[in-house]
Structure formats: structure tokens, C-alpha cells
């Protein structure tokens, strides 16, 4: 997926709040929207190279959106919606090796009081898939989340209920960086999410993962990675 022609280079200065960054572009300080509200540890470091989407509009508070951060030799995407866009594109091309055999798929599907990222129609019945974007990686291990996520816990509970009803349910973790070799729950940050993820797995919810190839101008799904669940007491 190409970022388009309206992407510019800059340097990160500071992050006054979760949704705002101060950057310099051609030596001028400007504000940029941060689309990932997570803590982004190890990434938001003053002086880091960044790439920003230039998208001015009358209803926008800033003309720029932070898209990529340079982390050593690699670019890291901090644009969570890219994960869903990449999965949607791959589903259209039948390019996900761990999800195959479906006849059709739909995005943003409402089911009861809930809305799921994707619904896949298989001959034997539907499958519901929730996508989670991973940006934190330590020693090649992706960790999710990097901040407590009530929304993530809610999704896991909903997927468990679907599984109990006999429907197929899955969580797909997409690490938007190339140095990820496995993904695990970040129990030190959000033990509740980690507990519910283990419970979901025990109930039959599929846990899937993949990393990405990220360049200065594009991002694409790369290869599947293992989801690791270290021993932990399940929630009751």
C-alpha cells in the first residue's frame, strides 16, 4: 500500500498529549496529529526522523498526520488504521495463508450491539475477525497493548460469546514493523487484556499474527508470526 504523494519528512520534537506531536519540517516547527493514542514507548524520542501525511482541511486542527517513525535501521508505522486497510486488501486478494476458503467477506459488520472489523463467509458458516495493530517490539517480540485497553477487552469478550454460539472467531495482530518474530500479551501494562486473551484462546478463539514490510513510501503485510501466551492464571 502506497502512502501517496502527499507525504513529507520531518523530525520529532515532543508529544504534548496523546493525539498531538510537535515536529519540524524544513526547520519550521508545526503540529501533527498522532493517530495512535498508545504510549509508543521507545519510538517517540526527540530527534527521530518521521514521515507525515500532509492532509489539510477546514475541519482539521492540524495539516499533518504522523505516519512513520525511524527506529534504528527500520521505519515503524504509527497509523493503526493501516492494519485494517492491509488486511482488507489481503482478504480481497485471498492472500492470507491462515484465512482461506471463504466465499466472500465484509468489513465493519454489525452483529447485535457490536461491530466487528471483518466477517468472512465460509461454506460451513461465518467467521468474525478483529484486527489489533502492534507497534511495541522488544527483542523481536511484539507486545500488545502498550497502554490499557478497555476496548480490546470488550472485543475479546464479544468474540468469546460468538465462539460459544458456534461461530468462528479470531483476533489478528498486525505488527506494522519488520523486526517482529512473535507477539505476546503485554501483561505488565494490561494484565486484564492478557487474562482475557488467554481465556479467549482456551474457548477456541483463534489468535493470528503477522508482521509488515515498511519502507519510506509503502507498507505491506509480510509474513505470519507466532502468538505466544506465557503461563498466567486465567480470569474466572
CATH no. for residue 114?
A: 3.40.1350.60
Specify if 232 maps to a domain. no
* Average pLDDT score, the chain: 93
**Helical pair 150-164 and 191-202, crossing angle rounded to 10 deg:** 10
> Which pLDDT tens digit goes with each residue over 180-217?
999 999 999 999 999 999 999 999 999 999 999 999 99
In a shared domain, residues 43 and 157:
no
Specify if 105 maps to a domain. yes
> Which pLDDT tens digit goes with each residue over 86-135?
999 999 999 999 999 999 999 999 887 789 999 999 999 999 999 999 99
Per the structure block, which three cell numbers stand in for 174? 498486525
CB 186 within 8 A of CB 143: yes
Q: Which of 184, 98, 102, 176 is nearest to 138 (CA)?
A: 184
CB 86 within 8 A of CB 41: no
Q: In what order do the strands lie in the sheet with 219-224?
A: 104-111, 114-122, 125-134, 168-175, 206-214, 219-224
Specify if 21 maps to a domain. yes
> Which pLDDT tens digit goes with each residue over 142-176?
999 999 999 999 999 999 999 999 999 999 999 99
> How far apart, in Å, are the Cα atoms of 116 and each of 176, 188, 201?
21, 27, 18
In a shared domain, residues 122 and 187:
yes
In a shared domain, residues 134 and 19:
no
- The per-residue pLDDT for 233 is 58
In a shared domain, residues 193 and 102:
yes
Domain that holds residue 106: 81-227
Stretch 67-85: mean pLDDT, rounded?
95
Per the structure block, which three cell numbers stand in for 230? 506465557
Specify if 2 maps to a domain. no
Phi, psi of 200, deg, nearest 5: -60, -45
Q: Of 76, 107, 137, which marks where a domain is finished?
A: 76
In a shared domain, residues 41 and 157:
no
- Exposure string for 12-44, b = 16+ CB within 10 A, e = fewer: bbebeeeeebebebeeeebebbbbbebbbeebb
In a shared domain, residues 61 and 46:
yes
In a shared domain, residues 106 and 212:
yes
In a shared domain, residues 147 and 213:
yes
Specify if 181 maps to a domain. yes
Q: Structurally, how many domains does the chain consist of?
A: 2
In a shared domain, residues 104 and 63:
no
Amino acid at each position: 500500500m502506497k502512502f501517496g504523494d502527499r507525504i513529507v519528512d520531518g523530525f520529532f520534537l515532543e508529544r504534548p498529549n496523546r493525539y498531538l506531536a510537535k515536529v519540524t519540517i524544513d526547520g519550521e516547527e508545526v503540529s501533527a496529529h498522532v493517530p495512535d493514542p498508545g504510549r509508543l514507548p521507545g519510538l517517540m524520542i526527540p530527534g527521530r526522523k518521521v514521515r507525515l501525511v500532509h492532509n489539510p482541511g477546514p475541519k482539521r486542527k492540524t495539516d499533518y498526520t504522523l505516519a512513520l517513525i525511524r527506529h534504528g535501521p527500520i521505519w515503524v508505522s504509527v497509523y493503526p488504521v493501516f492494519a485494517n486497510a492491509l488486511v482488507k486488501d489481503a482478504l480481497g486478494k485471498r492472500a492470507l495463508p491462515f484465512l482461506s476458503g471463504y466465499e466472500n467477506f465484509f468489513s465493519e459488520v454489525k452483529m447485535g450491539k457490536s461491530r466487528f472489523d471483518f466477517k468472512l463467509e465460509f461454506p460451513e458458516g461465518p467467521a468474525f475477525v478483529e484486527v489489533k495493530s502492534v507497534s511495541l517490539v522488544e527483542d523481536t517480540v511484539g507486545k500488545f497493548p502498550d497502554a490499557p485497553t478497555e476496548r480490546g477487552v470488550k472485543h475479546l469478550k464479544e468474540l468469546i460469546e460468538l465462539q460459544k454460539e458456534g461461530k468462528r472467531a479470531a483476533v489478528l495482530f498486525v505488527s506494522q514493523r519488520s523486526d517482529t518474530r512473535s507477539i505476546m500479551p503485554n501483561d505488565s501494562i494490561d494484565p486484564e487484556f492478557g487474562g482475557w486473551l488467554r481465556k479467549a484462546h482456551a474457548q477456541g478463539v483463534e489468535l493470528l499474527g503477522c508482521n509488515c514490510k515498511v519502507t519510506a513510501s509503502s507498507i505491506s503485510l509480510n509474513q505470519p508470526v507466532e502468538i505466544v501466551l506465557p503461563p498466567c492464571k486465567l480470569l474466572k
